[in-house]
Structure 1
């Protein structure tokens, strides 16, 4: 009688765990951002944000503002720049863009750098020096450290975190930096968030389609956030495997009588 009761209890536990695997199809992974639901994103075109602006759903993300045809990342506060004036060594400086977006240089004083591309800033400094001090100055700027060239990769990846990226980084590169998808990551639910003015734009990309050459591999810019959402079918399958594992263990220890 006691063994029968134990068998019934074990069978009930297995059935409950199996049901849990099915019900997990309606849940999300705890590592995915709780404030944003992937299904809501695909069914809504605009969601107001508490700090002003809106979260807007787009098919494809535009390049950040102030970039030249999307080819060059604008400078940001805290970026460290090496400014070299050709054949005028005493004007060379390593400077950091301050919190107000400015740098200070010999003779010409304060110059606004944040929001401009390197090429734009070079031209502005050349104009300032040529106005009163130098004839046909040649200014070269090298970005030694770029705060703006960092991205966040979160959700169902193996190594979520903040990563530096090159000026021509792509979405595939971003996924690789984070160690690829974890066991429940959905390659078809990769969302990229980008701040454009007061608004945040988000687009859904299918990495499997990109890898197969069926879709374009989008450019990733500093400041972007890449979030991988979970696959509901993979969650269900993992829970089912867990349930079968419990049942197998129960048989081995003799809870379920042969």
Structure 2
């Protein structure tokens, strides 16, 4: 077979491959790992551990995302007005508790900042201070981070703040790789002991057709691969190799 014939054969095979991948990719089905979620009742897996939903609610106990919940390893700055000797910077231990002067060990994890402030005011006011005024500031948050993985430039664990959105999270990870399927971006979240996942189409979010969802500490953002984009890249590589081969073939 001539070099031109080899090139034509490679192009034909590659185009057929792309067509096959494209027809599969455009069905709107979720990737294999997530598609399995749809087999159970209500979109749950067989053991009920993960549920596919159309949109994700805010984490439980946060007043629809208005409050931040404290967690183990958070560093807290506690200030007691008019009682500077009681001021402390403490780290929440692995069991979710902190030790404070006079009132001893208190559980912080799982409570909002305001809830914890009120609990401390009640504890100090019971025996030691008259109408105490206490503020709790989260100096370092171990929980306010999201994991971003899959087809992004820089997978990893990234800090988030109040108001961080999915588009913000993708930007933190350096944007999409060229083989990413922007219609297959999934957010996994624990909500009140239940594990939920939802599919978000970033192309539609960017065009304004869908709302840009907020992400919260503890979320996992997963970007899946576009089979058609992989096929196109393979085609480009194959064509480049074929062209190089054809050039070598005509060298006397």
TM-score band, normalised by shorter chain: 0.7 to 0.9
User: What pairs up with 1:60-99 in 2 under 5 angstroms?
Assistant: 60-99=55-94
CA distance in 2: counterparts of 1:213 and 1:16, whole angstroms? 38
RMSD: 2.6
CA distance in 1: counterparts of 2:197 and 2:53, whole angstroms? 6
CA distance in 1: counterparts of 2:19 and 2:251, whole angstroms? 23
Describe the superposition over 1:89-113 as per-residue Cα deviations: whole angstroms up to 9, x where unpaired. 1100011111111111111111110
CA distance in 2: counterparts of 1:194 and 1:82, whole angstroms? 28
CA distance in 2: counterparts of 1:255 and 1:54, whole angstroms? 61
Residue 168 (structure 1) shift: 1.9
- Please say if residues 183 and 201 of structure 2, whose CA atoms lie closer than 8 Å, have aligned partners that are also in contact: yes
Name the counterpart of 1:250.
245
Match for residue 227 of structure 2 among 225, 232, 235: 232
Q: SS in structure 2 opposite 1:144?
A: strand
Match for residue 150 of structure 2 among 143, 147, 155: 155
| Worse overlay, 95-104 or 37-46 | 37-46
Residue 144 (structure 1) shift: 1.1
Q: SS in structure 2 opposite 1:186?
A: strand
Describe the superposition over 1:42-89 as per-residue Cα deviations: whole angstroms up to 9, x where unpaired. 66611145xxx5110101101111212221221111111111111211
| Worse overlay, 174-183 or 16-25 | 16-25
Detail structure 1 runs of 4+ shifted over 4 Å in the superposition.
Answer: 4-28, 41-44
User: What pairs up with 1:20-169 in 2 under 5 angstroms?
Assistant: 20-22=17-19, 37-41=33-37, 45-48=43-46, 53-169=48-164
CA distance in 2: counterparts of 1:234 and 1:43, whole angstroms? 27
Describe the superposition over 1:174-228 as per-residue Cα deviations: whole angstroms up to 9, x where unpaired. 1111111101111111100001233210000111111122111111110000001
How many equivalent residue pairs? Answer: 245
Name the counterpart of 1:174.
169
Q: SS in structure 1 opposite 2:118?
A: helix
Q: Which has the higher contact order (CA 8 A, sep 6+)?
A: 1
**What TM-score do you get using the length of structure 1 for normalisation?**
0.85
CA distance in 2: counterparts of 1:42 and 1:190, whole angstroms? 16
CA distance in 2: counterparts of 1:92 and 1:155, whole angstroms? 44
CA distance in 1: counterparts of 2:12 and 2:250, whole angstroms? 15
Residue 138 (structure 1) shift: 1.1
Structure 2 residue runs of 5 or longer lacking an equivalent are: 26-30
